[in-house]
Structure 1
Amino acid sequence: MSQDIRLWKIAQQDNLMEINKTKLDMEDRLENWLEKDISIISNELLVIGRQIETDFGGVIDLLCIDYIGDLVIVELKRDKTPREITAQVLDYASWVKDLSNERVTEIAIKYLSNGSLDEVFKSKFGTNLPDVLNENHKMLIVASEIDGSTERIVNYLSDDYGISINAITFQHFKEEDGNEYLSRVYLIEPQEAEYRTKIKTASKRKPPLTLEELQEIADKNSIGGVFKKAFVDISEYFDQYITTRSSIAFIGIMGKNKARNTIFSLLPFESNLEKGLKYS
């Protein structure tokens, strides 16, 4: 069911003044906002391309990558019918699912102007770019309003088949003095959408290596003793670490928002007796 958002301003003497809702008539404007600040959808996204041409003749509005290396298609509904927008985003997904690490990097290089994908990813998320990208993908339909038919189709694909698809509506408000406001509502709460996908589909992502398995890699590279000592010594300064498919990452709190990020990593795969223990 479509949600009618209303907004009030608390004025002088504790009086409430309702702010008028206006039709967001330029979804290109919304696309610009999303490109400039994708956090209005999610803090866990990084834009790596805009108006990306697929091999099937389509053009993806925005292509993003999340903190685990999965791709996210962001498509604006504009004046498309429910059948058209859902068919279109599924068509784009059929192309995105086969993108290799190299192709994803190539797309990002053409778009990013402030560094490589590895650098921008680490700056954004505080951790290294995953070794394997695009093991899964998500679809987001964005609009100023979503009709009942689109809602039913998205819910059907998500609830019955675990397809990672969702819709987001942005509503626009404007005061008489020209101040503008934007509200955001997800059709399906992100946690619920993720849960539906997990219970309906088996993840293709390989589990992280254990500490013991990473130690075995270090042993094979003749750097086992140094690796073990480094892990023990560094662990004294951190209260948490995680393992990945290629590293041990030590987690700490950074920034004004007290976010937990990777501070230091040991890389046994890239280490050997000649070069020593690799870290980042």
Structure 2
Amino acid sequence: MGTEIKTWQVVSGKLQPVNTSLAEAGRRETQDLEEWIVSNPAIIGAGISIIGRQVPTKSGPLDLLGIDKHGNSVIVELKRDKLPREALAQAIDYASDVAEWSIEKFGEICTQFTGKRLEDHLTESFPDINLENLNINETQRIILVGFGIEGALERMLNWLSDSYGVNVNAVLLQYVRTARGDELLSRVAVISEELEEQRSKRKKFQIPMSDEPGEYPPDALKQKLTQYLSQDLWSAKRITKVLLPVLLREGKVTRDQLKKEFVQMGEAETERDAGYFLSLISQQIGLARNDFLRQVIGYEYHPDMPWMKETYFIREEYRDLVQEVLDSLNKN
């Protein structure tokens, strides 16, 4: 038998069990439970900000999408009743799709749901976090939310967490309507918050990253570069409009110089915004699959912050090729 929460009300000095389901109270999963969690995500875990609701995925709509203070994406699957073991498979299916999403897609989802840019929303949610050091969606978390849990599913969650450090948890809620009509919602997590916090800091299911450049012949490299820069993605546009032109003009350029260039060229309102945009560009360059970008764009890491790219430059043998690609894109 899985974990459940029981509630008793003290009436005339005696305990009386209170058993009220959402359905019995006329509450609905999508219209009530989701809204409650969006209004205060702390009920499913500390340091989580919700950026999307009923988000389309390849496997159907994801109930809630969040980002935590470590930059992990948070996949939230809700059930109005007891959590079945199938809920885990469904959430993993969602997570496998979300893992491939770009930061631009997260930005679009956030703007559509909150009316704010992703960076502004996260700054408000986590004022003590430096967004430049946050790698969005590098790791995925799964949180299953329900009003009970099948014993088999609880064993699976504990096994995945203890044996493999998988970042998955279940939060069990208890809805209560008192005799006076007050509505209460209590919760317990299958995996302790302390252990879940440790899991959140780990780098499980990472998107593959690399510093290795590609080795494509000129024609194939030109085709890949053109194809990537032609995408309707903010980072691709910023690489085309700012990064590559500045590197062609100036040679080796520091991160601070690039932040100033972003502001001067009207692509960022402040240097803080520019720093965030550069972090997104850095992440795109570092993706293992984008080895063609690293073939033309070289970089050096900061001596005191070895995770941060400090200087950028275009490799000398590819300067003409990059200029040809930019000229071609500007004509179209």
Scaled by the length of structure 1, what TM-score is found? 0.64
Question: How far off its partner does 1:121 sit?
Answer: 1.2
Aligned counterpart, 1:40: 43
Return the alpha-carbon distance in structure 1 between the equivalents of residues 135 and 60 of structure 2: 25
Aligned letter for 1:24?
L
Aligned counterpart, 1:77: 79
Q: Aligned to 2:138, what secondary structure does the other structure show?
A: coil
Aligned counterpart, 1:226: none
Q: How does 1:76-115 map to 2 (within 5 A)?
A: 76-78=78-80, 82-113=84-115, 115=116
Return the alpha-carbon distance in structure 1 between the equivalents of residues 254 and 126 of structure 2: 29
Q: Percent identity?
A: 36
Aligned counterpart, 1:193: 196
Scaled by the length of structure 2, what TM-score is found? 0.55
CA contact (8 A) 1:24 1:144 kept: no
CA contact (8 A) 2:45 2:193 kept: no
Instruction: Kindly name which structure, 1 or 2, has the bigger radius of gyration based on alpha carbons.
Output: 2
Task: Provide, for residues 152-203 of structure 1, a one-character-per-residue CA deviation record: whole Å limited to 9, x for no partner.
Answer: 2222222222211100111012222211211101011122234467789597
1:3/1:43 Cα in 2 relative to 1: closer, same or farther (>3 Å)?
same
| 100-109 vs 126-135, greater mean Cα deviation | 126-135
Aligned letter for 2:18?
N
Count of equivalent residues: 213
Question: How far off its partner does 1:118 sit?
Answer: 1.3
CA contact (8 A) 1:19 1:173 kept: no
Q: How does 1:223-242 map to 2 (within 5 A)?
A: none
1:74/1:81 Cα in 2 relative to 1: closer, same or farther (>3 Å)?
closer
Task: Provide, for residues 94-138 of structure 1, a one-character-per-residue CA deviation record: whole Å limited to 9, x for no partner.
Answer: 01111121121121111112x221112111211443453111110
Question: How far off its partner does 1:82 sit?
Answer: 2.7
Q: How does 1:74-223 map to 2 (within 5 A)?
A: 74-78=76-80, 82-113=84-115, 115-126=116-127, 127-130=129-132, 132-195=135-198, 201=204
Return the alpha-carbon distance in structure 2 between the equivalents of residues 201 and 222 of structure 1: 29
Aligned counterpart, 1:53: 56
Question: How far off its partner does 1:205 sit?
Answer: 11
Give the superposed CA RMSD: 3.6
Aligned letter for 1:141?
L
16, 19, 24: which is aligned to 1:21? Answer: 19
Aligned letter for 2:7?
R
| 165-174 vs 35-44, greater mean Cα deviation | 35-44
Aligned letter for 2:3?
S
1:40/1:179 Cα in 2 relative to 1: closer, same or farther (>3 Å)?
same
Task: Provide, for residues 12-51 of structure 1, a one-character-per-residue CA deviation record: whole Å limited to 9, x for no partner.
Answer: 8xx4654623123233321221122212223411111000
CA contact (8 A) 1:158 1:197 kept: no
Return the alpha-carbon distance in structure 2 between the equivalents of residues 19 and 189 of structure 1: 26
| 34-43 vs 134-143, greater mean Cα deviation | 34-43
CA contact (8 A) 1:159 1:196 kept: no
1:45/1:195 Cα in 2 relative to 1: closer, same or farther (>3 Å)?
closer
CA contact (8 A) 2:70 2:201 kept: no
Return the alpha-carbon distance in structure 1 between the equivalents of residues 142 and 205 of structure 2: 18
Q: How does 1:239-254 map to 2 (within 5 A)?
A: none
The unaligned stretches of length 5 or more in structure 2 are 210-252, 257-275, 280-308, 312-332
Q: Aligned to 2:93, what secondary structure does the other structure show?
A: helix
Aligned counterpart, 2:69: 67
Question: How far off its partner does 1:71 sit?
Answer: 0.6
Aligned counterpart, 1:215: none
Question: How far off its partner does 1:5 sit?
Answer: 2.8
